[in-house]
Amino acid sequence: MQIIDNPNKENWSEVLKRPTQTVKDIEATVNQIFEEVLNEGDIAIKKYTARFDGVDLVSNIVSLDEIQEAITQVPVKLQEAIKLAKNNIEVFHSAQRTDKVAVQTSIGVTCWQEKRAIEKVGLYIPGGTAPLFSTVLMLAVPAQIAGCKEIVLCSPPGKDGLLAPEILFAAQLCGVTKIIKVGGIQAIAGLTFGTATIPQVYKIFGPGNQFVTVAKQLATKYGVAIDMPAGPSELLVVADDTANPAYIASDLLSQAEHGTDSQVILVSTSNSLINKVSEAIKEQIKELPRQAIAEKAIANSKGIYVKDDETALELINEYGPEHFIVCVENEAFYIEGIRNAGSVFIGDFTPESAGDYASGTNHTLPTNGFSKAYSGVNLDSFFKSMTFQKISKKGLLNIGETIELMAEAEGLQAHKNAVSIRLKDLK
């Protein structure tokens, strides 16, 4: 971990730079694969699955037999843990339901808003070095609560041509309607255009590496919505001398083990704490099975000393972390002042991994500073808000002249006439 002492504000952008490739580095590859999937469908999907995942599949559709076999391979205790996590996620997301909003804006003019589920959604579940079956819960549970009719899951197959049993167990538990063994750019392209085996969807959800993130952004050019640009994982911790250095080190490492391009940052008003955390990281990292991955991520990470809480909060809001842990005596200052963060974890006994798995909040969150404008996945992510209005005769008499005047001022005579023709009949 690189330790930075009280950096000048003009240097913050450099200090807070993410260890990611630029879109320009990736876009050419993404464009090429999208074009091939658009023109060749499953032939291109099969080609890139063989190239990137090292497996030549006879069929990329997960069969019912595969699902049933997978369930038998998931230990009962883990099944119960997944069910408990699912329940907590259901409780939190079900509480996000909102009622119809209706109001009479003028006498005789009634407007209301209702929500309708997005009919077809695609869920991308990362595989690779760590198949994230927890992400199945985070995406499929709110999709099911919302009432999405078609829930299509894509995840890259292993060398054996199968998906992790835990992914399949969670998928059948949460009402996924179709499971496809395909990952990476080609999965996003398949969901965007549709193929003989992959249904075209209206919105794509889920985290992924930098290539998946750029692919999702490209999908929007073809009329497919996305939840957010969610790329390599990141965590920022703010801590003072009251914090437990071992706890902080464990939190930083929990994110560092996600991938070599993950980033973790510690911001503190105490140089002593930063040094203690740095030493604790060196000890704890030795015990990790994913030590090599964590070490590379830690090499890109920083411990930043600042003079006071006000400076710390300003720097944190400038960074806009995906995950933000608050372990300070004056936690209210940061809770009230944070403006840009995907999800906030408060106190010594609220590890970020609780949100990753079982507390109930969603772990699909904006990265790379996108928390300045994007929310994490929530129940509303699976809905569209539709507005309705009904105007009575008296209502049109009340607002008709206003519409006529405004339409005429904009030079839109047909707009005015649509009101005038009715008003003549009412007078």
Quick one: tokens of 326? 């608050």
398 a known binding residue?
no
CA distance 328 to 350: 13
Helices 133-146, 76-94: crossing angle, 10 deg rounding: 40
420 a known binding residue?
no
| DSSP for residue 108 | T
CATH code, domain carrying 406: 1.20.5.1300
186 a known binding residue?
yes
195 shares a domain with 66: yes
| DSSP for residue 124 | E
Is the sign of the CA dihedral 204, 208, 212, 214 positive or negative? positive
- Any domain includes 381: no
- Any domain includes 366: no
- Any domain includes 370: no
Helices 76-94, 165-173: crossing angle, 10 deg rounding: 40
Tell me which of 230, 245, 262 is where a domain ends. Answer: 230
Would you give the distance in Å from CA 267 to the centre of its chain? Answer: 24
Q: pLDDT tens digits, residue range 5-38? A: 999 999 999 999 987 656 677 899 999 999 999 9
309 a known binding residue?
no
Residue appearing with tokens 């996108």 = 370
153 shares a domain with 183: yes
CA distance 267 to 80: 37
- Any domain includes 387: no
Quick one: tokens of 314? 């300003």
Split at pLDDT 50, 70, 90, the class of 1 is confident
136 shares a domain with 44: yes
- Any domain includes 379: no
Work out the number of other CB atoms within 10 angstroms of the CB of residue 403. 16
- Any domain includes 382: no
Tell me the mean pLDDT in the region 141-161: 97
307 shares a domain with 164: no
| Low-confidence winner among 3-12, 96-105, 128-137, 317-326 (lowest mean pLDDT) | 128-137
Q: pLDDT tens digits, residue range 49-91? A: 999 999 999 999 999 999 999 999 999 999 999 999 999 999 9
Q: What percent of the chain has pLDDT over 90?
A: 91
Question: CA 20 → CA 6, 23, 185, 304, 335, distances in Å?
Answer: 24, 9, 17, 20, 28
Number of domains in the chain: 3
254 shares a domain with 216: no
CATH code, domain carrying 205: 3.40.50.1980
Quick one: tokens of 268? 């503190």
183 shares a domain with 54: yes
CA distance 312 to 324: 12
Task: Output the pLDDT for position 26.
Answer: 87
Q: Which residue has the higher pLDDT, 154 or 299?
A: 154
Catalytic residue list contains 166:
no
13 a known binding residue?
no
199 shares a domain with 85: yes
Task: Output the pLDDT for position 329.
Answer: 97
294 shares a domain with 238: yes
Quick one: tokens of 251? 């939190």
Label residue 194 left, alpha or beta by phi (over 0 means left) and psi (-120 to 50 means alpha): left
Catalytic residue list contains 323:
yes
Annotated active-site residue in 166, 234, 257, 322? 322
410 a known binding residue?
yes
* pLDDT of 130 higher than 90: no
124 a known binding residue?
yes
Q: Which domain holds residue 261?
A: 2-20+232-360
CA distance 231 to 26: 13
115 shares a domain with 258: no
- Any domain includes 37: yes
233 a known binding residue?
yes
CA distance 189 to 48: 11
199 shares a domain with 52: yes
256 shares a domain with 131: no
308 a known binding residue?
no
CA distance 123 to 199: 12
Q: Which residues, including other chains, have CB under 8 Å from residue 124's CB and lie 6 or more apart?
A: 154, 155, 183, 187, 188, 191, 204, 205, 206, 207, 208, 212, 216
Split at pLDDT 50, 70, 90, the class of 241 is very high
What DSSP string describes 177-190? Answer: SEEEE--HHHHHHH
84 shares a domain with 47: yes
Starting at the edge strand found earlier in the chain, the sheet holding 234-239 runs 2-5, 302-305, 263-268, 234-239, 323-327, 343-346
Tell me which of 164, 195, 230 is where a domain ends. Answer: 230
- Any domain includes 188: yes
Annotated active-site residue in 93, 166, 323, 363? 323
Question: CA 366 → CA 24, 292, 355, distances in Å?
Answer: 20, 26, 14
356 a known binding residue?
yes
Tell me which of 337, 360, 383 is where a domain ends. Answer: 360
